[in-house]
Each structure stands twice: as structure tokens, then as C-alpha cells.
Amino acid sequence: EMEQLLSSTFIQSPIYGTRCSNFLNMRNQQWNWLEKTQAGELKDQIIDLNIPLNKQS
């Protein structure tokens, strides 16, 4: 039962759970990182960061 629970990409149980989900991709010469909080005071908050691959002068 525990093995099946922990094999999921999103885990929700009384003793263990997914705290946040992350997505990282590269587009237009930059990294795009998204993180969504799944629990607590910040539930459903999404952080969206764009990180350029090369410095702008």
C-alpha cells in the first residue's frame, strides 16, 4: 500500500504528502521555472522565474 502511494507524482496522505510541484523548461534562450505550493498558507501560490542563459550588456 505504501509503495503504491509513494509511486504517484502527487502524494496526499495523513502521514506524507507533496508540498510543491515544479516545472522547469528552456525557451527563448532562458530557463523558465514554475513552482506551485500544494499546502499550507501559501496553497495554490505559483512562483514563476525566468533566468536568462547569457548576460545582457
Q: Note the pLDDT of residue 50.
A: 94
Q: Note the pLDDT of residue 31.
A: 95
SS3 for 4? helix
Residue 32: CB atoms within 10 A of its CB come to 14
Q: Note the pLDDT of residue 34.
A: 95
Q: What are phi and psi of 5, to 5 degrees?
A: -60, -45
List per-block mean pLDDT (blocks of 10 residues) for the chain, which spans 57 residues. Answer: 73 74 92 88 90 79
Q: Note the pLDDT of residue 1.
A: 76
pTM comes to 0.61
Beta bridge partners of 35: 22, 47
Q: Note the pLDDT of residue 41.
A: 83
Q: Note the pLDDT of residue 57.
A: 59
